[in-house]
Structure 1
Amino acid sequence: MTTVHPVWKGPASVPGGTRQSPINIRWRDSVYDPQLKPLGVFYKAEACLYVWNTGYLFQVEFDDSTEGSGEPERGSGPLAPERDSQMGDDGAYSMGRPPAEQHKGQHLDPHDCCIGPPLMVITLFQSLMWGISGGPLENHYRLKQFHFHWGAVNEWGSEHTVDDHVYPAELHLVHWNAVKYQNYTDAVTGADGLAVVGVFLKLGARHKELQELVAVLPDIKHKDARAALGPFQPSCLLPACRDYWTYPGSLTTPPLSESVTWIIHKKPIEVAQDQLAAFRSLLFSVPGEEEKAMVNNYRPLQPLMNRKVRSSFQATHEGARL
C-alpha cells in the first residue's frame, strides 16, 4: 500500500501545521456535544455542471454563483421551489433524510435510525439558502464540488479512518463560507472558509443514484477529460442516518489549507464491486503517456495533536461494529 499517490506534486506536510487532515477518529475518545445542531442540507440538482478527471481524482463541479446556487439577490422576491426538491405538502423542507426517504405530509420521527440530533425542518425562506448550514457551522456554506478518494483494492482507500478501520473509498462534498467570503478562492485560505462533508463507502448493494455518475466515467478516463452531467442531486449520496463527527482540519490536497470544518458521517453508504472498479478504471495520465491507474489517491493520516473530535451522538458499543 502506498502512502502518497504516484503523481502527488504538493508538499507531504505543512511546516508548523497544527490541524492537518485526514485523521483516525477514535470512537470512544470523541466527545458528545449536545449543543451540536442537525446539519441542514439542501442542494439544487440543476446547479450540477460537469464531471472531470483532474489527474488526481474525478470531480463533479457545481455552479456556486448566487444565481446558480439559487440564492436570491438583495431586494429580490422569494424564489419558487424546484419540483424535485425535498419540500413537503406543508411548505417546509425536511433536511433529515435523503429525497428517496421523504414521506410528504407524514410525521417525521426524529429518532428514526439515528441516536443524535432530531431531523431538521426549515422554512421556505431558509430554503432559499441552497447548500449546508447548522450542524457545527455558524454560517451558510455553498457547494463547490464533490469528489472521491479510493484505493487499488477494497482493503484501503478512505482518507479518514475510524478506530483504525479503513473503508475502500470516501466521498468529500466541498463547501465554502458564503457569508464571510466573496468566492471559493478567498475562502480556501480564510478562517472558517471551508466545510467538507465526508461519507465513507463500503462494499455492498449497488447504489442506484451513484450509477448515474459511474455511467459517464468511461468518457473521462484520461486526465483533463470532462463530460456533461446533470441534473444530479448530491444529497442522494448521503446516508439515511445523519449522526456525525466534526473537527477542525485542513484540505487533504495542496495547498493543504487549515481552513476546513470537517463533518464526517458515522454511517457509510453501500456501493457495488463493479462501481468501485469503475473508479479504478480511470487514469492519472493523458492520452499518449504511459498509463497510470488512478488508485490510492488519498493522503496518509495526520496527527490529531491537541484537537478534539466532537460527535452529534453518544458513543455506544456500536463503535466496535463498523
Structure 2
Amino acid sequence: MVILLGFFAFKILPGDPVARIARERQMSPEQIAQLREQLGLDKPLLEQFWTYLGNVFTLNFGESYVYKRSVSELIGEYFWNTILLTGTSAIIAIALGLWLGQRAGWKHGSRFDKVTSGVSLVLWSVPTFWLALILLMIFGGTLHWFPTGGMRSPDAPDGFAGILDVVAHMVLPVITMVAVVYAQYVMVMRASVVEEMNADYITTARAKGLRDDLVRTRHVVPNALLPTVTLVFMHIGGLIAGAVTVEAVFSWPGLGKLTFEAISGPDLPLLQGTFVVFSAIIILMNLIADLVYRQLDPRVRRS
C-alpha cells in the first residue's frame, strides 16, 4: 500500500513539473517534449509504475527535478539532520510527558493535576505551524534570543562553539515539537496510573507498610508504563514524519523541508522517496513496539 500510494497519490497532485521547468527557462515545444521524454513522463502511467516499482526495491528513487541530484543521496544527506531534531524532541517529550503524567495521576484531582492536564490539553490542541510561527516571531524576531532559521550560522566556527551554534538553532523547533507531542504521553500515563491505583496489589503493598513513593515507583509506574509503550514508539515514527511543518517554518535542512519544497514542484521523485522513507520508519516503529511490549508483558508472551 505504501508503494502504491507513493506513486499514484503524487501523480494526481496539481501542477506539471515539466511546465514549471519550462517557465523558469525559455524552451521550445521540441525541447519540452524532449525533457518530458527524458524524465519518462511521456510513457503510459502503468509503464511508469512498473519502472518505479523496480527502482524502489533497489533504493533507486531517480533524480530530483529541482536539485538535479540523486534522491537517495539527498535523503542520506538530510536524514540525520531530521533524526537529530526529532530524536532530541522525542527524548524530551517522552521524559517530560511520562514524569508529569505519573505525578498527575498519583495526585489526581489536585491542583497540580488540574494545571498539568489543562496546559497539556491546550498545547495538544494548538496547530503546530501556528505555535512555530508565534515562537519564531517572539523569540527570534522580537527578542532576538535565538536564530530564526537554518541549522548553522554562516560564520559558525568549528569545534565546541559550532556545537553550541547548532544547539541554539535547535531550541525553537525542539520546543515546538515537544509542546505539541508531550501532552499525549501525559494524558495516557495519567489515565494508566489512575486505573492502576485501584488494583488489589496496590492495597496489599500499602498494607505492608510501604511508603507512597515506593508504591508509586516500584508498583504503579512499571505497570502503568505498559499501555504507553505502543504510543511512544508509534509517535516516534509519527514525529519524524510530522517534522515537515516545523522544518519548513524554521528552515531546518531535513527530510521535512525537502518534502515541503518537493510539493511545490511537484518534484515527483523526491516526494516519492521521502514518502517511502517516512512510511518505512512508522512501520518499523510499530514493529518494535509490538516486540518490546511482548517482552514487557508476560501475558502477551503466553498468549
Q: Give the structure-1-normalised TM-score.
A: 0.21
More helix by share: 2
User: Which structure has the bigger radius of gyration?
Assistant: 2
**Per residue, is there more strand in 1 or in 2?**
1
TM-score, normalised via structure 2 length: 0.22
